[in-house]
Structure 1
């Protein structure tokens, strides 16, 4: 019997990340709304000469990509949830999608800054009334998407609640809110240009929008890369594990090594190496550690 057959016949389960079906459905619906409005705003911004409107359209394209990647990640995480090739489940598929989206967003932010500065230097004629109408429609779409991605406050007829620690869902929601703010900036700039002739405000708002995208992208890169690189040894759960292992009850133990790996939104695997001159009861240690519900997979090595 080969190793793959043995693994497929295993009785244990390494899928610690339960599917977030509400988020999957919401991201698909939000992505469709966003793609439609993105096309309208980009074409409208180019046709009517509004950099703020064009910037909002490009911002929508970035968050359409984020929603698309999030939906794809949910689908793949569900599809391969029980695949034995994934040591700790498919949680990081979603995190990888968030990281990839953030990298793309950085490129969009720099492109928008370049275009906005170009418009400041070389102003263009703007059809303000038409551009304002499109920007208002864009804001409405953003609010609809925010409703679809409202997170743990949402539930369907089956009373299935969204996951409060879903990084993909949080990122998509923040992106939609940021996009709504960019739409507001575009509307303000266009109205000011129409009423007061402040043409410089339109590209300026484009720069403000790009800064918002940049800040969001950097924040998402930091959060997702931390999980991808297992840089979580300063998380609260680490201190909780150490508190147990260094308690008086286990003063005969020497902690040789400790690894904490995030395997779901609020779930961790724990790999511990200890040594002792006395007999070590591994089962007792595991039972004490399992009072922390975040720990779902514990491996203890005795040297």
Structure 2
């Protein structure tokens, strides 16, 4: 009888499928401090100069500071609990949950923008153009710096895991090209959208304020607010859709499903798929459970080895029924 290695160290593998995004985490932390500083300056200035516009913008920024802080906490929590055995497939979805919550906050910001804009359309208030333009320019500069910091963190990270026995981690060149938008850091995208929302608000405010100052078109200010709210809602919906799909494992329409099916047709024995589950456990990593009915004997390890040629498949479980 052949010797079987029963050493658990030989067969166990890590459930850390995503290496995190240290650059994005560090840059997001910087953005939180920048946003919080400008927020406090605006709120203090609003109280001192008795400016409602300044106060409103300061509290508006506070919602973004909260969301950005949430993004940093999500990164930190995912890293801290990375090896906690309670998380069956790792902690990457903590980051996705952070992105989803940020998207909900973005919808709240959009609703607030609509409320304030309609209120100003119905009951216009005097606008101190020079002071308001100065504030809007300051906000725009800070947000462009923040956007540059967060954009820098969205680069693609190429990492390789050491192969684990029997788990299909065969890193060969893979011809499958998935939807790259799905593989972005959704937590970082949420933070980036909050900064873009602030920048957009500042740009629209500057345009509206100059229009009001030069041509007396005071109605431009609330109208631009409604335009901004519409764009923010569209961004928030996109983020909710993408992060929500990951959270509820609604990704069986990924092209990788077709790749798995095509791989099964190339097995050395006739086989039919009776059950297939594919879900995301990292930015570009999927877990796969595959159940096959075969007419001739075949080892599950053979199937895992063929599927392991696709590096997107990070955790493969194969069941054979003859």
Say whether the fold is shared (TM-score over 0.5).
yes
What residue is the counterpart of 2:70 in the other structure?
69
Q: Is this contact kept in 1: 2:269–2:294, CA < 8 A?
A: no
Q: Is the Cα contact below 8 Å between 1:106 and 1:213 reproduced in 2?
A: yes
Q: How much has 1:198 moved relative to structure 2?
A: 1.1
Residues of 1 paired with 2:123 and 2:219: CA distance? 10
Indicate if the aligned counterparts of 1:48 and 1:126 stay in contact, CA closer than 8 A. Answer: no
Of 213, 222, 226, which residue of structure 2 is paired with 1:203?
222
Q: Structure 2 CA distance, aligned partners of 1:189 and 1:58?
A: 20
- The separation in 2 between residues aligned to 1:282 and 1:256, in whole angstroms, is 15
The 8 Å contact of residues 269 and 295 in structure 2, kept in 1 or not, is answered as: no
Is 1:109–1:213's contact at 8 Å kept on the other side of the alignment? yes
Could you tell me whether the CA contact under 8 Å between 1:56 and 1:183 is conserved in 2?
A: no
Mapped contact 1:151–1:169 kept (Cα < 8 A): no
Report what 1:112 is aligned to: 113
Change in CA separation of 1:184 and 1:140 when aligned onto 2, cut-off 3 Å:
same
Q: Distance in 2 between matches of 1:91 and 1:302?
A: 30
2:192 counterpart residue number: 173
What's the offset of the Cα at 1:45? Answer: 7.1
User: Quick one: distance in 1 between partners of 2:186 and 2:262?
Assistant: 28
User: 2: CA distance between counterparts of 1:154 and 1:252?
Assistant: 42
Alignment partner, residue 265 of structure 1: 283
Partner residue, 1:294:
312
Is 1:192 aligned to residue 195 of structure 2?
no
Q: What is the CA-CA distance between 1:118 and the residue it aligns to? A: 0.9
TM-fit CA distance, 1:115: 1.6
Distance 1:149 1:286 in 2: 38
1:59/1:213 contact within 8 Å kept: no
Aligned positions, number: 286
How does the TM-score come out when normalised to structure 1?
0.86
SS of structure 2 residue aligned to 1:15: coil
- Find out whether 1:82 has 2:101 as its counterpart: no
For 1:47-85, what per-residue CA distance to the aligned partner results, in whole angstroms no more than 9, with x for missing partners? 4354xx777555533432331111000000000000111
Verify the 8 A CA contact 1:255 1:274 in the aligned structure 2: yes
The whole-number CA distance in structure 2 between the counterparts of 1:56 and 1:233 is: 42
Alignment of 1:1-303 (within 5 A): 11-41=12-42, 47-50=50-53, 57=58, 59-151=60-152, 165-247=184-266, 249-250=267-268, 252-303=270-321
> Any idea what SS the aligned residue of 1:150 has?
helix
What CA deviation, in whole Å up to 9, does each residue of 1:143-173 have, x standing for no partner? 1101211235779xxxxxxxx7212122322
Contact 2:197–2:232, Cα closer than 8 Å, also in 1: yes
Q: Distance in 2 between matches of 1:57 and 1:291?
A: 52
Q: Where do 5+ consecutive residues of structure 1 fail to align? A: 1-6, 156-163
The residue number in structure 2 matching 1:160 is none
User: Structure 2 length normalisation: TM-score?
Assistant: 0.82
Alignment partners' CA distance in 1, 2:64 and 2:35: 8
Given that residues 263 and 306 in structure 2 are in contact (C-alpha distance below 8 angstroms), is that contact kept between their aligned partners in structure 1? yes
Q: Which runs of 5+ in 2 are unaligned?
A: 1-7, 157-182
Q: Distance in 2 between matches of 1:270 and 1:245?
A: 13
For residues 95 and 204 of structure 2, the distance between their equivalents in structure 1, rounded to whole angstroms, comes to: 31
Question: Counterpart of 2:169?
Answer: none
Q: How much has 1:242 moved relative to structure 2?
A: 0.9
